[in-house]
Each structure stands twice: as structure tokens, then as C-alpha cells.
Amino acid sequence: MAASAPTTRIRTVLRWAEWGAAVLVSAVLIVCHFMGLTHAGALWRDEVNTLNIAGLPSLSEIWAMLEFDSCPILWHFVLRAWSAAGLGGTDFSLRVLGFTIGLGITGALWLIAKRFRVGVPLVSLVLFGLSPAVLLIGDSLRAYGLGALVILLALSAFWRLVEETTLRQVLIAGLAAVLSVQCLYHNAVILLAMGAGGLAVALRRRAWKTAGAIIGIGLVAALSLVPYLVGPLARAREWNDVIKVPLTIWWLLARFGEAVGGGGAVFVWVWAVLLALAVGACIWRLAGPAADASPSQRDLPLFVAVTMVVGVIAYGAFLLAVGYPTSPWYYLSLMALLAVLADVGIHQVAGAGVVGRLARIGGAVALAAMVLPQAWEIVHIRMTDVDAIAARLEAIAQREDLIVVNPWWPGISFMRYYHGSAPWTTVPDIGDHRVHRYDLVKKKMAEGEAIQPILNRVGETLRSGHRVWLVGGAEFLAPGQRPEDIPRDPATAHSEVYYTVLWSRQLAYFLQTHGRLLTVVRLPAGWADVFLYEALPLLAVEGWRD
């Protein structure tokens, strides 16, 4: 009895230290989300793309344009509901929605820590919550933040279903599963991994009712995606070959490294070590010294290990099959799953002993300190400078000038923010700048002289003594260099990016050959830190020479 009092005091101190560290990280997260809300500014083209589709007059029109977005229809309904509530009138009020989802992710991490009985979500708060990729994109007007939030809730619901298979839990897990796949297509792969983990536990227990419930939920979620397979996704197959690229496992690993390494290159190794440690801990609990544990004590390690392994393998196979070049935000749902399960797995070996708990607390605090400078920097980034460029052009561009947006992608955000008198076009001129119309770009790729009309307009403007404003710059050539010829057949394995570069070089060569003076137009102070994907220069070209 005398020896138990110090032990009790140590455990009490450790419990308070764990809670204190987790609450501190959560408070930092709330501040980061708030700073992101106040600094993100205007919407960049992907956000405008989704918002324009969500704002179409009817459901049939939304369905018809859904092929030009990367997510199913749930997020568009959320945006419509937000706007219908009077909260979509300004960019800031729209960003409050993303801010709310970001806070929801933090809350979900706490909920799941309670569900899996790991105390507090120390590891997942740092690995996922403080990740710069999550802070930047999770709070944006894209579906990725909501997709990660819903997949976290689905994970909690699935484990609760495995623990207790009641009608109520089946309905909750089924609803979470359908919502998750209706938010992001690739959430179906994460759902498959969770189902595999649950099935592994059910089959070990010979719990056939649980296994049947999991299979049934998976089938319902899969059936909910069938309309997309015969609708938007089927239509997209007519043009999406222009954005596909040959992928390899190493390429995907590099992109995943970019997603998790936002806090610095060392974080790639941190993720690798912690994931390996979590899986190893679960295997140790299943087959090592703890093999004499009760069957229920082996359920959670089995669920975690199978879900993590199947999730990584299936997600990689899915991305390879799709063939789209991925960006960091494509991995947010996978990161959410792995971060939470890493927390659970590490708790298998560090949750009870004093040394393990101290290591968990100290490691989480140290990692938070390492990632915080990058996280703080990312939440001060503006998502675009197109609104500043548009405002500048409204003030200085004349009616007889010509504005050229190159390449065509930023034309989506430029159309939202530019309301001046000078005419504008994109390279190439695809006509519809509400969404990413890759189908129209593919047609331009087959024309051969797709941007010649634009070059003619540029020449006429310069000859008349007016200026050409170049939004986005161009692929300027070295002296004596000429642009390559445009391929006549886009079916010869050339991507849209390949054509975009060639068109940009044609435009640059024309301006270098015939323009007399090219100057860089400075934007107002404070626009230096802009999101990499839409940090555009503004150039002015004037004068003519033959």
C-alpha cells in the first residue's frame, strides 16, 4: 500500500501533463485556423470552380457540370445551404465555412481519442491537425477538409459498430459511410480499408452479424456512387486523357512526402517512423509477449494494423489506376486515417508505462515546436493575388487595351474579380471560364493554330498604340530560340500541360519579337506571400516593331 501512493501520484501528474499538452496544442490550432481565416483573402481558381458549380440555378445543371470538379455533389449542397442561409455574400463569410470545418477536425480528433480509449489525441493533433497542408487546404472552399472530417467520423462509427453491432450503430455507420463517399470519391478507398479492418476482427470473433453489417454498409456506399460512374465520371472519360500522366509508386511516394513534409523534410521521416512503430506495436500486441491477452484486447490492434496496411496499399493502387497528377490535398483523408491510427497504435506500447507516456508527451511537444513555424507561416498566406491584379487593372487599363490571362486556368478566378472596361481573353480562348473546361481545351489542342486569333488581337492592340496586359507571364525564350511547332494530333500522348507550355512559348516569342517595351507592374505592398498555385505576375507590353 505504501508503494502505491507514489505510483498514483506519478500517474496523476502524467495524466495532467497529457491533458495540458493536448489542450495547449488544440489552443494553438484554434489560433492558427483563425489566422488562416483572416489572411486567406480571395478565392483561388479551384475554389471558384466549385463555388460556380454549386451556384448554378438547378440540380440538373449542377449534375451536368459535375464532371468538371473533383468531388461528388455533397460539398456543393453544403455550399448552397451556406449561401441560402445568407452566409455566402462575401469571400470572408464563405471562408468562415472552411474555418468551421477546420475546428470540426480538431474536435473530431478529440472524439476519436475518446472512442479508441487513448486518453488525449497528442500524436494525431500534431501529425494531422498542425500539418501545413491541412491548415491551408482543409479550411479552403474545397471538399477536402469536409472529406477528412467525415472520414474521421466514419472511422469512429465503424469501430463503435465493431464493438457493438446494434441497429442504431449500423445506421450511424452506414450514414457516415455514404456521406464520406459522397464528399470525396477517393474516400471510398479509405472506407474499404476501414471495412477490411472491421471484417478482420469480425472473422476472428466469428461475429457473422458484424461481418454482414460491414459488407452491407460497403455495398450501400458503393451503390451510392453508381450514378457518378454512368454520369459525370463517364462523361469525363471523353476528355480526361489530356490530364493523365504515367505514374509510378515512387512518384506517388514523393507526392505523399510533399503532403506530410510541409513542416520540413524531417517530417517525412517522422511520419514513416511513427507509422512503422504503430503497425509494429499492433503486431507485437497480436503475436508477441502480449499474445496471452484476452480476445477483446487483441481486437483493436488487429483493426488498426489491417486498416493501415490495406489503406496505404489500396490508396496507392487507386491513384495509379486513375492516373491523375496529384497535389498534397489529395492525401488529406489518408493522412487523417493514418495519423489517428498511429496515435492508437503507439498507445498500445506507450499508453500504460511511465517511460512510454513521458516519451509520448515529450515527442508530441517537440514535434509541435518543430512544425509550428511552418504552420504559422502557412496560415499567413493569401490564396491568390488575382483579386489584387484585377483591382489594379480596373484602375489603369483603358478600354482599348487588351488583357491576356496565361495560361487559361486563372481565367476562372479572374472572371470573378475583374469588372473593368478593357476586354480580356485567355490562352487559349476557350469561351467558358466558369469552370475547368478541359473538354474545350482538348478541342483547342486539335486546332493547330489555336492561339493565332489571340496573337492577331495582341498585334492589333500594340499597333494602335495601346497596351497589352499579361496576367500570369509567359514562357519567355532565350535570344535566338524559337518555339516548337504545335502537334496536330493531341492523341499522340501529349498532355494539356504540354500544349499549355507550347502556347505560352508562342505568345512569349510574339511579344519578344514585336513588342518594344515590357515592364513588370507592381502590386500593392503585402502581397508577397501568396499560395504557390496562384501567385501570378502582371506584365505590361507596349509599342510595336515589325
Chain segment 127-148, per-residue pLDDT in tens? 999 999 999 999 999 999 999 9
What per-residue confidence (pLDDT) applies to 1?
Answer: 44
What per-residue confidence (pLDDT) applies to 489?
Answer: 61
Give the residue-averaged pLDDT of 5-29.
85
What are the angstrom distances between the C-alpha of 117 and each of 78, 152, 345, 352, 540? 32, 15, 11, 12, 61
For residue 256, the tally of other CB atoms under 10 A from its CB is: 23
Residue 224's pLDDT band (cuts 50, 70, 90): very high
Place of cell 500593392: 524
DSSP per position, 234-257: HHHTTTGGGT-----HHHHHHHHH
Give the residue-averaged pLDDT of 7-25.
85
Give the residue-averaged pLDDT of 281-306.
77
Work out the angle at residue 30's Cα, subtended by the Cα atoms of residues 144 and 75, and round it to the nearest 5 degrees: 25
What per-residue confidence (pLDDT) applies to 24?
Answer: 94
What per-residue confidence (pLDDT) applies to 493?
Answer: 46
Pairing type for strands 468-471 and 538-542 reads antiparallel
In sequence order, the 6+-apart residues with CB closer than 8 A to the CB of 432 are 440
Please say if the pLDDT value at position 82 is more than 80. Answer: yes
What per-residue confidence (pLDDT) applies to 528?
Answer: 60
What is the Cα–Cα distance from 501 to 474, expressed in whole angstroms?
9
Residue 307's pLDDT band (cuts 50, 70, 90): very high
Question: Are the C-beta atoms of residues 147 and 134 closer than 8 Å to each other?
Answer: no
Sign of the alpha-carbon torsion through 76, 81, 84, 90: negative
Residue 192's pLDDT band (cuts 50, 70, 90): very high
What per-residue confidence (pLDDT) applies to 18?
Answer: 86
Question: Are the C-beta atoms of residues 361 and 119 closer than 8 Å to each other?
Answer: no
Grid cell digits, residue 373: 513555424
pLDDT in tens, 378-404: 999 999 999 999 999 999 999 999 999
What per-residue confidence (pLDDT) applies to 7?
Answer: 66
Proportion of the chain above pLDDT 90, given as a percent: 72
What per-residue confidence (pLDDT) applies to 2?
Answer: 46
Please say if the pLDDT value at position 190 is more than 90. Answer: yes
Q: Which of 94, 66, 67, 63 is nearest to 79 (CA)?
A: 94
In sequence order, the 6+-apart residues with CB closer than 8 A to the CB of 537 are 472, 473, 520
Work out the angle at residue 224's Cα, subtended by the Cα atoms of residues 73 and 305, and round it to the nearest 5 degrees: 100
What per-residue confidence (pLDDT) applies to 491?
Answer: 56
Mean pLDDT of the chain: 90
Least reliable range by pLDDT among 89-93, 205-209, 253-257, 486-490 = 486-490
Residue 221's pLDDT band (cuts 50, 70, 90): very high
pLDDT in tens, 443-475: 999 887 899 999 999 999 999 999 999 999 999
What is the Cα–Cα distance from 414 to 407, expressed in whole angstroms?
12
Question: Are the C-beta atoms of residues 351 and 118 closer than 8 Å to each other?
Answer: yes
What are the angstrom distances between the C-alpha of 264 and each of 366, 367, 372, 398, 450? 14, 11, 10, 45, 42
Least reliable range by pLDDT among 188-197, 224-233, 323-332, 432-441 = 323-332
Grid cell digits, residue 473: 507571364
Give the residue-averaged pLDDT of 85-101.
95
DSSP 341: H
Give the residue-averaged pLDDT of 103-123.
93
Give the residue-averaged pLDDT of 7-12.
76
| pTM given for the model | 0.92
What per-residue confidence (pLDDT) applies to 9?
Answer: 79
What per-residue confidence (pLDDT) applies to 449?
Answer: 86
Place of cell 477546420: 102
Give the residue-averaged pLDDT of 47-61.
96
